Chains A and B, each alone.
Chain A
Amino acid sequence: MNRLIRIISQSIRAVRAFKLRTFFCLLSVALGIASIVIIVAAVEGAYKKAFEMVARFGPDSVLVLSGGEEARAIGMRQKTLTLEDVGAVRQAFPNAYMVVPMTSQSGVNASYRDKKHQTQVIGSTEDYSRVWTWPVIQGSDFTSEDIKGLRNVGLIGQYLLKELFGDKDPVGKYILIKGMPVQIIGVLSERGMSATGHNLDDRIIMPLSSVMRKIQNETKYISALRVRFIDQENLYKRADELRAFLRYRHRIPDGQPDDFRIITPKEITKLLVALTGSLVIFLGIVGLISLTVAGFVLANLFLLSVKERTNEIGIRRATGAKKKDILLQFLSEAVIITSLGGLLGFMLGLVSSRLLILVADFPIYFSWKSFAVGLLLSWIVGIGFGLQPAKRAANLKPIEAIRE
């Protein structure tokens, strides 16, 4: 056996022998590492989710909402975008390969036979499912005739479908929307929650003009406008141009806020990061505090151990251990313990993140990264806080250590 291996196996021997010291150090390190591991997993999960959301939102897309930020903040739903805006945008932006207007009405009563449900009605064009990359999985999509002819037809979301039809096939059936019979022609695939936790599947899509005229009694204003650009790499430049263009059209003087809001993929991520951020900060503080505490627990238990094992150090030195051999032995004792603590912490993180998901729907994703960060930090704690006691052990003079 190699000299180094022999010394490190002495450390392993001591880790096994001093069980109480090992237990307390292990536990305190594990708690700290667990919260750090969760943080890394949460950050990773957030990024993964953000990536998915951007992909779903469309990395080449923007969404323009009616009403300025201030008005939205106080709950006012001004409608400022008009059908003329839509046409003007189509003409002014040749790079926009899809410009789809939308109008939305929430809290609308929908019923099928004896089943009732309040839902959201979206009015849009035949491009709706394409502009949102949201496929119709059953029945058929709108045709341009459906839109032009103001037909009472609808694409139903999965949640509303379950509420009204259960497991039955809805295609071709008529439901009542605000007392008006609407034929279901297609079913949208499941979409899940939005970044703000809104259930996207609780809706029915109808032709834009049908909704405006028959439900909203509206001829001019729409709620939102979705634009997809060919040149994805210039998306943010295009968004700025779009903003300037709409400000010009709405005759907003300089210094006044926008009366609309442009949502880009970046903002989708921002929202999610803000949501995850609070968790990260909380766990980050908890993790750092508990790791520091773990470090001090380790340092103190090791100092005690060095004192208790003075004779051992003495006899090791007398039989030929060099200073650096003693240093190595005690340092590896610390690092072995903290590494084990890191492993335990990782497992603890895995388990407690399951619980965390039960409490709140945070995106948490474990990969080798959180494992690596956990292990690395445990080494840092082991070396950082084990060095001082190990140095003390190494610097004991052999004659003094033996005479103790």
Chain B
Amino acid sequence: MEVRSDEKKLKLQVKCEKISELRTQHSELLCLMENIKKTYRIGDEDVEALKGINLQIERGEFVAIMGISGSGKTTLMNLIGCLDVPTSGRYILNGKEVSNLSDDELSVVRNELIGFVFQNFYLMPYATVLENVMLPTIYLDRTTNDVEDMAMEVLRMVGLEDRAKFKPKQLSGGQMQRVAIARALINGPELILADEPTGQLDSKTAKEIMDILAKMNESGRNIIVVTHDQNIASYAKRVIRISDGLITDESLN
């Protein structure tokens, strides 16, 4: 009897250690994906866009996700950005499981934790630069004061403080993307998720944008860039390649 209870105790101890190990591991990780699958239904056919992604991103990383179109990289970025939920698997973002959150809860996560930068900038044409930058603050759950000061602050970070009252159409493509970066920064997100951020820009402007992102990373921000462009990926410290719904290769730059 005694032997058996000792055995039990030992087992329990091991289990507890494992759990606490997992915990510390998780809190250091920004993203943890375990066996993430995503299936779309197109017509009568199920298309498996992601076939079991395992991914860990630590804090302070600058990661590029590379892949050709149709590789599943966009689906992966939607899932990382909480724009969509996986069909199966576990996704822990910033220590919180987000794989089965409701639409409203996902909105809150996006609002507080993620800053998006898209290929097409997506600035509201009728609003000023300042108003565009302030967009994410509208959906904060608290009352806000001095958001304008915050917006001017992030605009200064991207070097556009003198364009605050301009309309987007008065700006160049590079400037528009910088506005979008400022917008991504304003709520102080844990993660900046850039989807082909230089897709619409010439190589010189692209370099400027990537330099800004690199600088952001140096000051401690987590950045994930989704791209098919090797040059862009070379700014990242780690490159994850995805093909046919699976991670095929990881390399450090």
Contacts and interface: CB of A to CB of B under 8 A. Distances in A.
B81 interface: yes
20 contacts: A1-B144, A2-B143, A3-B140, A3-B142, A6-B138, A17-B127, A18-B126, A312-B122, A314-B122, A315-B124, A316-B139, A317-B107, A320-B108, A320-B111, A320-B139, A322-B107, A323-B107, A398-B84, A402-B83, A402-B118
Given A1-B143, A2-B143, A6-B144, A322 B104 contact: yes
Contacts of A314: 122
Contact of B83 (A18, A316, A398): A398
B45 interface: no
Interface of A: 1-3, 6-7, 10, 13-14, 17-18, 311-312, 314-325, 398-399, 402
Given A7-B138, A320-B136, A399-B84, A315 B122 contact: yes
A273 B112 CA distance: 63
Nearest to A324: B104
Contacts of B108: 320, 322
B130 to A, nearest CB: 12
B21 interface: no
B143 A322 contact: no
A1 B140 CA distance: 11
Interface string B129-168: 0010001111111111100000000000000000000000
Contacts of A324: 104
Contacts of A6: 137-138, 144
Interface string B73-90: 000001001011000000
A72 B242 CA distance: 98
Nearest to B184: A319
A13 B126 contact: yes
Contact of B139 (A1, A3, A13, A399): A3
A10 B138 contact: yes
A322 to B, nearest CB: 4
B112 A320 contact: yes
B180 to A, nearest CB: 9
Contacts of A10: 138
Contact of A311 (B120, B131, B144, B187): B120
A221 B123 CA distance: 91
Contact of A13 (B83, B118, B131, B145): B131
A311 B122 contact: yes
A235 to B, nearest CB: 64
Closest 8 CB pairs of A and B: A320-B111, A17-B126, A320-B139, A319-B136, A315-B122, A322-B107, A6-B138, A322-B104
Nearest to A403: B74
Contacts of A323: 103-104, 107
B37 interface: no
Contacts of B103: 322-323
Contacts of A315: 116, 118, 122-124, 135
B207 interface: no
Question: Which residue, A10, A315, A318, has most C-beta atoms of chain B within 10 A?
Answer: A318
Interface of B: 78, 81, 83-84, 103-104, 107-108, 110-112, 116, 118, 120, 122-124, 126-127, 131, 135-145, 183, 187
A319 B185 CA distance: 11
Given A314-B122, A402-B118, A320 B143 contact: no
B105 to A, nearest CB: 9
Contact of A3 (B122, B126, B143, B183): B143
Nearest to B109: A320
A51 B42 CA distance: 71
Contacts of B78: 399
A398 B83 CA distance: 6
A399 B83 contact: yes
A14 B139 contact: no
Nearest to A7: B138
A331 B155 CA distance: 32
A7 B111 CA distance: 15
A398 B118 CA distance: 13
A322 B139 contact: yes
A13 B183 contact: no
Contacts of A320: 107-108, 110-112, 136, 139-140, 187
Given A317-B83, A321-B107, A399-B83, 13 more contacts: A1-B144, A6-B144, A7-B138, A14-B126, A311-B122, A314-B122, A315-B135, A318-B110, A319-B110, A320-B110, A320-B136, A322-B107, A398-B83
Given A318-B116, A319-B136, A319-B183, A402 B107 contact: no
A316 B116 CA distance: 11
Contacts of B183: 319
Contact of B135 (A2, A17, A316): A316
A268 B35 CA distance: 86
Contacts of B112: 320
Question: Which residue, B112, B118, B122, B144, has most C-beta atoms of chain A within 10 A?
Answer: B122
A13 B143 CA distance: 19
B124 A319 contact: no
A109 to B, nearest CB: 77
A87 B234 CA distance: 118
Nearest to B104: A322
Nearest to A319: B136
Given A1-B144, A402-B118, A318 B138 contact: no
Nearest to A312: B124
B139 A318 contact: no
A195 B50 CA distance: 83
A93 to B, nearest CB: 75
A337 to B, nearest CB: 15
Nearest to A309: B124
Contacts of B126: 13-14, 17-18
A391 to B, nearest CB: 14
Contacts of B143: 1-3
Nearest to A311: B122
Given A17-B127, A399-B84, A319 B139 contact: yes
